[in-house]
Structure 1
Amino acid sequence: MKFLISNDDGVYAPGLLALYQALSTIGEVTVVAPNNEQSGCASALSISTPLYMHQLDSGFVVVNGSPADCIYLALHELYRHTRFDCVITGINSGANLGQDVMFSGTFGAALTAQLFGIPAIATSLVGGGVKGKVQEQASHYRIAADEIVKLLTETPILDICKNLPYHVLNVNIPDVDSANDIRGRKITSLGHSQIARPVHHMVDPRGRDAYWLSLRKRQHEMPLDSSPEPLLSQQVVLDAAGTASVPEMTDYRAITAGYVSLSPVRLHHTPAASLDKLSELAL
């Protein structure tokens, strides 16, 4: 298998290295990643400034652009003669759950691949990015990377993704000390959680107003009296056209219960019901 990988944490991020090392055990891996952190840039493309690339001693290709830029450039120029079996992005430092996927550069890069017909998987390690004063241990990323390899080798997920056009598989993996602490995998829908404080206002040293945007969620992602246990047996059902019925378990619930969350996210789609509703308008 041939994999193209990228991320939004930058080419030196431990999650990218762990993903590269794990995938290299089952296939040929090409890395094209941003030269610095690009979190929150979604699927932004640099169309008003030129892109530059260079190759590190490791063989990784570095680009002065967004994650979507990296995938776009790789597919259409740098490796235009290579047929990749899958684009995998991450492993993101911190969760990409619920509505966060719309802002995530990790997800945005995977989306860019899917728009050009390449099966795409966005991966994240749910640990909050930075815990206290230290980031997740490298061993935690290795556990997450091994879970991705197991997903690809133990299940037909890649074949299913190939038959689901305009879908990105959004994968979140619990941040644990041992692989034995992961209870399994669950197909989930995207949840929704309130942002605790969307904008932080401050005054800089020169007395100017400054604003820091935040996606940090409230402490409890789901009601305290809600238990994920009754929903653990719910599975997604795919019909012949690849349409998925919405599972009752959300990504938040699955992660809270200790499961790897697999959320199929469909894009580039106009629901027929919405067209019918809007067609009733007198325009």
Structure 2
Amino acid sequence: MARAPVFTAAKQAEQLREDGNFFFAKNRFSAAIDAYTEAITLCPNVPIYWTNRALCHRKRNDWTRVEEDCRKAIELDNHSVKAHYMLGLALLQKQDYKEGVKELEKALDLGRGMNPKGYMVEEIWQELAKAKYLEWEHESSQRSWDLQTLKMACEEALREKHAIDDSNAEETIDESAVAHAKQLEALERVFEKAAEDDTPSEVPDHLCCKITLDLFRDPVIAPSGFTYERAVILDHLQKVGKFDPITHEPLRPSQLVPNFAIKEAVRAYLEKHGWAYRLD
């Protein structure tokens, strides 16, 4: 007899979840939140109730509550892709780029482990790329400001030095001016070099898919030697024909092999350039 109420509560909570799903599909987010909240009250240890409610808060741009619900869901299940994903988005909203990126990377790793070809993996990858860009942009702006401040201080120090030198009878004013100009030029070169890593660059052609011209995510190499994005070439083989789109040689999906070298090159490029490549 003692176990019956537990079973009833669990069953009732599941019904409330289904009600919440129905309201969510109708864009009735307040009603959905109420239903999920009741389910949580009955069974607070079910992660999906928390992530479902977090999704409603996300739809309403209530990012503080998204963060709260996702953290609770992660406490209950550290392998929840949706919880890490939405927590990452919530952290980005309050400009905590470092932690936001970390959560999105966790979500991507979990998503790839569970369903590498799932739609969420692509969505998370896109958001992670944007987040990495925002993180790079934020840090780059700070570094640029620091460099500019340091450069101005160095220029002022040089002016003061040559102002003192100008009063030295052994050195003419012309000689001092020439030396000052040369030092300013050298200073300019030093700071230009220091700023290079914070300057976005064009992505090398060999890191982009020949079909989409977009940066590789999951590159595979065909017998022809050409590398393609896996999802794109598989779509080509299914809808257009079983042949290499560049050489037109016969090609089957089983002949495609992961190109780990290119994948690593993409990773290295993005790490070096701070993911300074925006995905629209």
Same fold (TM over 0.5): no
* Higher RCO structure (Cα 8 Å, ≥6 apart): 1
Work out which of the two has the higher radius of gyration on C-alpha atoms and give 1 or 2: 2
More strand by share: 1
Q: What TM-score range do you get, normalising by the shorter chain?
A: under 0.3
When normalised by structure 1's length, the TM-score is: 0.28
Richer in helix (by share):
2
